[in-house]
Structure formats: structure tokens, C-alpha cells
Amino acid sequence: MPPINKSRIAKNTALLYFRMLLIMLITLYITRVLLNVLGKSDYGTYEVVGTIVAMFTFLGSTMATAAQRFFAVELGIENYAKLKQLFSVNVLVFIGLAIVILILAETVGLWYLNNIMNIPADRIIATAWVYQFSVFSAVTGIVTIPYVAIITAREHMKAYAYLSILEVLFKLAIVFALLYFSLDKLILYALLAFLVQILISATYIVYSTVKFPECKLKYYWNKTMFKDVLNFAGWNVIGSLSMTFRSKGIDLLLNSFFDVLVNAARGLAYRVYNALILFITNFFTAIRPQIIKSYSADNDDSSGELMKLVFQSSKFCYYLILILSIPVLIETSSILNIWLNNNVPEYTVVFTRLIIIVAIIESLANPLVASINATGIIKKYQIVTSTIILMILPVSYLFLKFGFPPQVTMYISIVASVLAQICRVYYMNKLLKMNTSQYIKQVILPISAVTVPAFVLPAIFYISFDESFMRLVGVCTVTVISSGFSIFYVGLTKSERKGLVNIILRIVNKGGL
């Protein structure tokens, strides 16, 4: 098996973090301006309409995972002829999927919008327009997925980073455009977001077609390939469905018990969650192709480089999100007030704290999920883990029916996330012969030893001073210092510390990777 390309991982991670920092800051600012421009009620309406659309488009994320996996496998064994065929088949599959989603959205989705959703009476027409533009945006994005998948599979992260930054800059521009038009701002925002989606999708397609020979389409159909992709994606559908129901299904459930202001609060909490997860996503986007290519080159590597990469990436994913999460968990109210200019809907604070706990738990999932997906043997794994996640919805319904507050749904999600992670460890042992005791020794014990001291000093600083901006700055500073020392001296092995120092020195001495 070829060695893990750690230099490429480091370079791609740096590029993706440059992308992530800009996108995170701009996105958080966009949310603040959008909340002020639209108001809490219209913002909540936009969130819940997006939820309905997402319920139909979850298949897109499922098929995206399948496309990335198959592209990376063929790149790993350098079978470029089959890669070209696979790409053509995937384009046809995604076009078909977009048509199916459009039909479902314009029938079942419209029925739900008109008969079930809890919408203010004076915003029904505006909501209908927002729904249509959201559907068209989603369908356009689905057709683009194979082109995005080939960019990440080929590890062209610079292009991926720049195009993502361009997209968020356009979104920032349309938010400011709302300030200068007297039209219905909710409808206008949905229209402009749709136009941005068309422009960005066209850019992805043109770049991929010019850059990669397999993207120069010629009609090709292979029934066996179609079945392979569909079989892999078919079982992943269960996983995507469970995650969709956990987030979007709960949104719709809350909308049936409460008003759109609760949806606004949960939507804002998920903005924070997405900002944190973005750190992990960018880090792991650089690693995922290496894991899949490593497995495809040698699928009997339970004690070698593959497991080493899985263990190390699990720890680093956790450490990254821990450093970011501690100040947000401790100073939630202050951060939300600064971010939203003291315009914080009820329940936003508690939703934010609980969803961050979910994010911390799930930070350990990506390396295991990528490794299991690389095997292609995912039927039983998906059934078990997805059943756990899917149970969040009926259990939440029962608790809400008995009069529990909306945040009970988040407590249920935390329990389900822990159980799902235990199942992933079990299937890593079963499918890839991962040594569970080594996983506990090399991952669970180090992160546990880091977590306690990382929390203690910022918490002491928090309770020692009155609420102020300087206290917030102090909590963030103490978090970085205490977490940094804990991670470096307790959470890393000697070789990991040496590798990290070498990367830092290379950046300092050469001005880059």
C-alpha cells in the first residue's frame, strides 16, 4: 500500500481552513443581518420552509457520499477509464434524482406547506414563493453534486476553497441588497439565493469540465455500475434519512407544537453548530480521500497506516471542536447577544448549548464512518445506527405530547449520538478488525484526559468575574492556553508532537506548506 500522503493532507487542510475561517465569519455575520432585516417571525418562516425542502433533498447528500466513494476508489487504483464511465453514470443518476425530487416537492411538499405548516396568516403567499425558489435552488444544487465530488476526490482543495468563498461572498452581497429594495424582503432573499445557486453551480460544472478529462461528458450507461452505485447509496439512504429526521424532522415537529419563533431559535442554534462542524468538515475533507484510497489499495491494513490515520484524525477532530466549543458553552448568552445584537429569540441559549454537546460527540464519527463506507459492506451498519437516530423523532413526539419543553428534543439527540458512536466502534471492529482496546487507549483515554483540565480553568475564570466583554476575551484566551497545553502534553503521543512541531516550523520558515 502506498504511504499516507501527510504533506498533501497538511496542505489541503490549510487551504480548507483558510476557506472555513472566511466562510464562518461571513456566514455568522449574514445571519445577524438577515435576522434584523427579516425579523424573528420571517426568519423562522424561512428556516421551516428550508426544512421541508431538505426533507426531499436528503437523497442528494446520500448519493454525494456514494459518488465520492466510487471516484476515490478508482483514483486509488488509477483506473481512469472506469472513472470516466462512473462519472457519466453518476451525472445521469443525479439528473434523474433531481427530477424525482422536483415532482415530490411540487406534490407532497406543497400539500404539507398548505395544510400542516404553522405559518402566520399574513405570510402565506410570501411563504409559497420562498418555497418555490428554495425547491429550484435545491434541484440545481443536486445536479452539480458529481462535479463537486470529483473535485474533492481528486483533492483539488484550492479550487473547492475558492469557489466556496465566492459563493458565501455572493450571499453576503444579496443580504446587503435587501437593505436597498422596498420589495418583500423574504421573497427577494429567496429569489436572489436561487440566482446565486445557478451561478455557483455553473462555475463548478465549467471548472470540472475544463480541468478533468472524465468530466467531458459523452453518453454512457452501464447497468452494472448503476446497480453498484445504487446499492451502496441505497443503504446510505437510511443513514441520511435518519440524520435528516433528527434535524429537519424535529424542526417540523416543533413547528406543529410551537410557533415559528421556536424554529427561529433552533435555526440560530444550528448556525452555531454548523460553524463548529465546518472546522471538522474542512479538516476531514482533506483526510477522507486518503482513507478511502488507502483501503482500496490494501483492504487488510487493520494494524498499519490506515488505523493510525483513523485514530489520529479522530483525536484531532475532537481537539479542534473542543477548543472552539468551550468558550461558546461557557459564554453562550454573551456570545449570542454580541452576534445577534441583543435580538436573541427565546430558547436560543439552551438550544445552542445542547447542540454543541452533540457536535462534540459527533466529532469522533467521521473517521469511522469513512472507513466503514470504504468497505462497501454497510447494510447492517446502516440499519443499526440509523434506527438509533430515527428513534429520536417518535421519542421526541411522545415527550412533547406530554408537555415537555422544546429542548427535550436535544437531550434525546445527545443520548442517541452516544449510542450511535458505540455502534460505529463495534462495526469498525467487525468489518476492519479494529482493535477496540487500542481505540480506547489511543483515542478515548487521551481525549478524556484533555477535556477536564481544558474546561476547568476557563470555568474558574468565568465565575471569578462579572459579565463583560473583557471576561469573554479572558475565557477565550484561557481556553486556548489550557486546551493547547493539555492537548500538546497529554493528548498527543511523542511522534504526534514531533510531527505537529515540524508542520508549524515549516509554515514559519517557508511561509506555507
For position 303, what pLDDT does the model report? 47
Q: Decide: 457 and 451 in contact? Cβ < 8 Å.
A: no
Torsion of CA 404, 410, 414, 419, to 10 degrees: 70
DSSP assignment of 358-427, as one string?
HHHHHTTHHHHHHHHHHHS--HHHHHHHHHHHHTHHHHHHHHHHTT--TTHHHHHHHHHHHHHHHHHHHH
Q: Decide: 385 and 325 in contact? Cβ < 8 Å.
A: no
Cell 441520511: give the residue.
240
For position 97, what pLDDT does the model report? 80
Residue 166 CB: number of other CB atoms within 10 A?
14
Q: Give the rounded distance of the alpha carbon of 433 from its chain centre.
A: 28
Q: What is the pLDDT of residues 425-462, one digit of tens each?
A: 998 888 888 888 999 998 999 999 999 888 888 999 99
* CA proximity to 20, closest of 281, 395, 347: 281
C-alpha R_g of the chain: 23
CA–CA separation, 208 vs 434, rounded Å?
Answer: 37
CA–CA separation, 268 vs 49, rounded Å?
Answer: 15
**pLDDT one digit per residue (tens) for the chain, 513 residues:** 444 555 555 555 555 556 666 777 777 777 777 777 777 777 777 777 777 666 666 655 666 666 766 777 777 666 777 778 888 888 888 888 888 888 988 888 888 888 877 777 777 888 888 888 888 888 888 888 888 888 877 767 677 777 777 888 888 888 888 878 777 888 888 888 889 889 988 998 898 888 888 777 777 777 777 776 666 665 566 666 667 667 777 888 888 888 778 888 888 888 888 878 777 776 676 677 677 767 766 544 444 777 888 888 888 889 888 988 899 899 999 988 888 887 888 888 999 999 999 999 988 888 888 888 777 777 788 888 888 888 888 999 999 999 899 999 999 999 999 999 999 999 888 888 888 899 999 899 999 999 988 888 899 999 988 888 889 989 989 998 988 888 888 888 887 777 777 766 665 565 444
For position 71, what pLDDT does the model report? 76
For position 404, what pLDDT does the model report? 92
Backbone conformation region of residue 2, classed left if phi is above 0, alpha if psi is from -120 to 50, else beta: beta
Encode burial over 227-244: b for 16+ CB neighbours within 10 A, e otherwise: ebbeebbebbbbbbbbbb
Contacts 24+ apart (CB under 8 A), 77-80: 77/296, 77/297, 80/213, 80/214
Q: Decide: 16 and 282 in contact? Cβ < 8 Å.
A: yes
CA–CA separation, 109 vs 121, rounded Å?
Answer: 19
Q: What are the Cα distances from residue 188, in Å, to 46, 54, 130, 182? A: 12, 20, 9, 10
For the chain, first and last CA: distance in Å?
25
CA–CA separation, 398 vs 402, rounded Å?
Answer: 6
For position 324, what pLDDT does the model report? 86
CB neighbours of 432 closer than 8 A, spacing ≥ 6?
302, 306, 307, 371, 372, 375
**SS3 for 344?**
coil
All three cell numbers of 502: 515540524
**SS3 for 73?**
helix
Q: What are the Cα distances from residue 266, in Å, to 232, 308, 348? A: 32, 37, 6
